[in-house]
Structure 1
């Protein structure tokens, strides 16, 4: 079926011509010489192929598509008349030498009967040309629309990534700057973690999907980077199960949610933060929860550019294959994301 849909505009006319040629030779070789039957068949094929592709390449695109219907149907009528007249001339040329012509009911020399038959064949050929051509144009339009939608989606995703990466880098550099100011012994380690993350962002996230294992690997780098400045690491609950190497996921999906949690949590003030990632068959579940204080941290509202961009990317890449629940109440923020991979 896929093969036919791909090559229908070639297969349909070839099938039509071969059937017509075989039928013509098979029938008329009984009443005229076989060589004459072949010659007659090929002349008629040339006639109908000519009107078929004249309609395909000239009439439909120049007149029908441009809504010049009167001119289009006028040309169709003229083509039917001319091709019918030529068919009768070709038929009579080979049948005049046949003394048994009028004795066989399959080949009647009555002009009216021949005219009706010729009109019918010409109409069928032009109708086939018209329908196949319209189907071809419609298919091209659908593919073009799909391509435009795909290009638009890719452009939007590229823009979102371009916004996301500087946003992530800005926050990471702020964290390292704080470590350097306090002369922390972890500043050097944080730079190494950041370099690994930057390598991932620059070289691996330009594609639509990356291996799930790789995304998890660099998420752990980010968690290590954030954990360096924590005073109460025992308040951080991390559980990440083993991932199937056959699954792929959208790059930089988890980091904005985790970044948001670290940014707003009060984990250094007896608060709590939890990051759990599990696989159930082909369903990935990501949970990120944190407590926060509205009064102890001078930060902007929970959420932000990275979080908003991640939600927009989820909508574009996974559509109805994901479920995202975000809860923000009583100084407790929770993200529960489930994706069908």
Structure 2
């Protein structure tokens, strides 16, 4: 894990030091002071233990920020270990002087190593936890921003296809144009109300799909065999919004030819506890097969990216073209991702 240092880290380091040493001074004072015969002896004993620990710990903490936090770990230990050992030897002279008359013997080098290690370990754990939280927050912001971007691309893509449907009805002076416009307004209401949410009721996603299919039926006026079935109950199931729509749009966009007898779009949604399966098949005119294989479809491409963000390792998507028929299946395992 990459460790970074900034102004907040420095403030946190200062607070960590205050917490650590406040606790240790109180703990040592109680532990050592009780064994002394007088307050003066207790203060001398506590001073003899704490002061030799604070100074090298402070120096090593500076090295921790300057070297360890910048991934120069080997150099950190090369400098820190001799520093602690040398400081322990030098402080022994002062230690023996201040401890005169006190009934206490301590190996100062060991104390310095132990408590400096405890302090650095405490600092490292705190920094590591802070960094993990920071990285998680940054990842959440990145995912949110990417989802918003993908949805913003889907909005005009969807509206363009829907307006094309109504335009076709107007050109033929169909009396269905008014009904189609009403369907479109309902679709746009769904779109505006639901697309900004992280997850929506599966029933709302199905209702939006049904509105879109009704709009396509008005446009095609019997020139395509259209079927949409739903098996299972959608109650209490939530799903990412606009997951099904691009696949339906794709089927109608590429599945219609001048030969009405061969046109079909069949969609089947199967809902089981913890599992949602969407299967779509549609006819492909011979002249569109090569185009369908090579053309980049923004709606499908963005939906796959959204699936990766919402349901990573919890979905499977397969598609194939065989005998002028395009088939796709999308399976989402909801047990691996709680909405």
Q: TM-score, normalised by structure 2?
A: 0.76
Mapped contact 1:88–1:118 kept (Cα < 8 A): no
Moved more, 47-56 or 246-255: 47-56
**Residues of 1 paired with 2:292 and 2:224: CA distance?**
26
**Residues of 1 paired with 2:31 and 2:51: CA distance?**
18
What are the equivalent positions in structure 2 for 1:125-136 lying under 5 Å apart?
125-136=115-126
In 2 relative to 1, CA 11–175 (structure 1 residues): closer, same or farther, beyond 3 Å?
same
Aligned to 2:322: 329
Aligned to 2:274: 282
**Residues of 1 paired with 2:309 and 2:256: CA distance?**
33
Does residue 210 (structure 1) correspond to residue 210 (structure 2)? The answer is: no
What are the equivalent positions in structure 2 for 1:54-133 lying under 5 Å apart?
55-56=60-61, 58-66=62-70, 67=72, 74=79, 77-78=82-83, 81-82=86-87, 89=94, 92-93=97-98, 95-97=99-101, 101=103, 107-108=104-105, 114=106, 117-133=107-123
How far did residue 54 of structure 1 move? Answer: 5.2
**Residues of 1 paired with 2:325 and 2:90: CA distance?**
86
**Residues of 1 paired with 2:36 and 2:306: CA distance?**
72
Number of equivalences: 316
Mapped contact 1:25–1:37 kept (Cα < 8 A): no
Aligned to 2:230: 240
**Residues of 2 paired with 1:247 and 1:39: CA distance?**
69
In 2 relative to 1, CA 154–124 (structure 1 residues): closer, same or farther, beyond 3 Å?
same
How far did residue 177 of structure 1 move? Answer: 0.6
Aligned to 2:180: 190
Aligned to 2:8: none
- Provide the secondary structure at the position in 1 that maps to 2:243: coil
What root-mean-square deviation, in Å, do the aligned CA atoms of Structure 1 and Structure 2 show?
Answer: 3.7
Deviations 1:74-96 (A, max 9, x none): 46644555567668746754x53
Aligned to 2:221: 231
Does residue 37 (structure 1) correspond to residue 27 (structure 2)? The answer is: no
Moved more, 143-152 or 196-205: 143-152
Unaligned stretches of 5+ residues in structure 2 = 1-12, 335-339
Bigger radius of gyration, 1 or 2? 1
- Provide the secondary structure at the position in 2 that maps to 1:121: helix
Does residue 262 (structure 1) correspond to residue 252 (structure 2)? The answer is: yes
**Residues of 2 paired with 1:332 and 1:183: CA distance?**
32
- Provide the secondary structure at the position in 2 that maps to 1:253: coil
Deviations 1:218-243 (A, max 9, x none): 11111111111233288222212454
Mapped contact 1:212–1:243 kept (Cα < 8 A): no
**Residues of 1 paired with 2:76 and 2:17: CA distance?**
26
Aligned to 1:294: 286
In 2 relative to 1, CA 128–13 (structure 1 residues): closer, same or farther, beyond 3 Å?
farther
Moved more, 260-269 or 183-192: 260-269
**Residues of 2 paired with 1:60 and 1:120: CA distance?**
20
In 2 relative to 1, CA 275–74 (structure 1 residues): closer, same or farther, beyond 3 Å?
closer
Aligned to 2:305: 312
- Provide the secondary structure at the position in 2 that maps to 1:183: coil
Mapped contact 1:55–1:129 kept (Cα < 8 A): no
Moved more, 250-259 or 38-47: 38-47
Unaligned stretches of 5+ residues in structure 1 = 1-8, 102-106, 109-113
Aligned to 2:166: 176
